[in-house]
């Protein structure tokens, strides 16, 4: 069946086929809350002035089979600025499924449409999940690119909620959980579950933003409320998602003040543990582990099926769900370099780096030369927290 392509400049415009989009989204089994119109429209509203949105739609008769919202902008790579395309929602969308129901030939036509309409050096899609045991629809683009790369972004721990969760956890986590509960009880703090609506979401987000600003995430500028653009995005997105009943929060309060929280999105029985923060002066309480346990208890009460860490670091992840995980999900980053001179240059640089990386690794692995007793020792360095879980 022939594919008909259409371009839109906004997902909020009256001419955008919102009903057809929702039908397509519900047909894609792995779609997440970060694929909802509420999330994407908020992401669009928060775009910087130098970013442009280009939405590619693919139709077969009257059925929408492809929706790919791409943000074009200039990024500095190796000291030079290149035109790069990302999926709308990057970098705060922790997990996306591509809303595509096309065969390989039609996908090849879609890539040609993108290159004609939005010339670029690099098209990169981050945090993509793929059906287990199936070839990705993006594989068709590899042969059409000057250089292509599929790279693992992270392995996300997930926990299948079952009746065994009604029993106390065993091993070392049990003692950590007990100690944390005792500290919390001793200081008089209380755990609260919140299912906010659209009216109360703004006030709740302000309280959560204050906690994050005081935490290490606020100090390092890596949180979801780190700048005005992100705050606007989160306010719009979570208010709209709260109106749909998708937002959940577990928080620890002391004298009516929020001192620690976990913010999540619940969709089709799966809770995405999206963001957490705590006040530094209460770091010794160990509240994160207790609030994660509260997620699981809430899930038992309301028949959720899964608790997911929506995203973790690829290596050295310190997310507490690793202690409870029953499985993992993989996120992938796909990079497609164009045949334009700038795309060829970036692709060549990537291939050169990959060829040199093993050699550099061997050099670093060589034992250091013996130094004299009077040689000055290098200063100790302190890495920032390894797990950038939002």
Residue closest to 337 by CA, chosen among 122, 191, 167: 122
Q: Output the pLDDT for position 260.
A: 97
**Within 13 A of 259's CA, how many CA atoms are on the CB side?**
20
Dihedrals phi, psi of 172, to nearest 5 degrees:
-60, -40
**Where are the chain's structural domains?**
4-155+331-355, 162-304
Q: Which CATH class is domain 4-155+331-355?
A: alpha beta
Residue closest to 274 by CA, chosen among 29, 33, 89, 87: 33
CA distance linking residue 326 with residue 328, whole number of Å? 7
Low-confidence ranges of the chain (pLDDT < 70): 1, 361-363, 365-390
CATH of region 162-304, choose from 3.40.50.2300, 1.10.3720.10, 3.90.1200.10, 3.40.630.30: 3.40.630.30
Q: Output the pLDDT for position 367.
A: 60
Q: Output the pLDDT for position 211.
A: 97
Q: Do domains 4-155+331-355 and 162-304 have the same CATH topology?
A: yes
Q: Output the pLDDT for position 132.
A: 73
Three-state secondary structure readout of the chain: CCCEEEEECCCCCCCCCHHHHHHHHHHCCCCCHHHCHHHHHHHHHCCCCCCEEEEEEEEECCEEEEEEEEEEEEEEECCEEEEEEEECCCCCCCCECCEECCCHHHHHHHHHHHHHHCCCCEEEEEEECCCCCCCCCCHHHHCCCCEEEEEEEEEEEEEECCHHHHCCCCCHHHHHHHHHHHHHHHHCCEEEEECCCHHHHHHHHHHHHHHHHHCHHHHHCCCCCCCHHHHHHHHHHHHHHHHCCCEEEEEEEECCEEEEEEEEEEECCEEEEEEEEECHHHHHHCHHHHHHHHHHHHHHHHCCCEEEECCCCCCCCCCHHHHCCCEEEEEEEEEEECCCHHHHHHHHHHHHHHHHHHHHHHHHHCCCCCCCCCCCCCCCCCCCCCCCCC
Largest Cα–Cα separation, the chain: 79
Number of residues written out for the chain: 390
Q: Output the pLDDT for position 2.
A: 87
């Amino acid at each position: 069946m022939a594919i008909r392509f259409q371009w839109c400049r906004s997902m909020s415009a009256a001419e955008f086929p919102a009903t057809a989009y929702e039908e397509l989204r519900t047909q894609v089994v792995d779609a997440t809350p970060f694929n909802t119109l509420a999330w994407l429209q908020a992401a669009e509203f928060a775009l910087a002035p130098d970013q442009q949105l280009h939405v590619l739609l693919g139709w077969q008769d009257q059925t929408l089979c492809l929706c790919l919202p791409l943000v074009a902008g200039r990024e500095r790579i190796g000291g030079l600025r290149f035109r790069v395309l990302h999926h709308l929602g990057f970098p705060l969308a922790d997990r996306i499924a591509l809303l595509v129901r096309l065969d390989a030939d039609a996908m090849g036509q879609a890539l040609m449409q993108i290159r004609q309409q939005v010339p670029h050096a690099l098209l990169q899609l981050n945090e993509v999940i793929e059906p287990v045991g199936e070839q990705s629809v993006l594989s068709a683009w590899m042969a059409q690119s000057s250089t292509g790369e599929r790279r693992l972004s992270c392995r996300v721990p997930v926990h299948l909620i079952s009746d065994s969760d009604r029993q106390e956890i065993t091993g070392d986590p049990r003692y950590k959980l007990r100690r944390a509960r005792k500290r919390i009880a001793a200081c008089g703090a209380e755990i609260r579950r919140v299912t906010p609506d659209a009216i109360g979401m703004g006030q709740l987000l302000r309280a959560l933003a204050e906690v994050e600003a005081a935490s290490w995430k606020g100090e390092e500028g890596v949180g979801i409320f780190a700048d005005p653009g992100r705050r606007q995005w989160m306010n719009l997105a979570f208010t709209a998602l709260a109106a749909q009943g998708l937002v959940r929060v577990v928080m620890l309060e002391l004298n009516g003040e929020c001192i620690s929280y976990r913010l999540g999105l619940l969709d089709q029985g799966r809770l995405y543990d999206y963001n957490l923060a705590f006040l530094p002066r209460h770091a010794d309480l160990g509240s994160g582990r207790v609030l994660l346990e509260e997620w699981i208890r809430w899930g038992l009460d309301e028949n959720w099926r899964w608790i997911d860490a929506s995203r973790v670091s690829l290596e050295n992840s310190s997310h507490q769900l690793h202690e409870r995980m029953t499985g993992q999900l993989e996120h992938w980053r796909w990079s497609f370099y164009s045949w334009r001179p700038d795309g060829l240059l970036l692709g060549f640089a990537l291939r050169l780096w990959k060829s040199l990386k093993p050699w550099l690794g061997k050099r670093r692995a060589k034992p250091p030369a013996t130094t004299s007793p009077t040689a000055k020792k290098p200063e100790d360095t302190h890495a920032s927290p390894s797990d950038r879980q939002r």
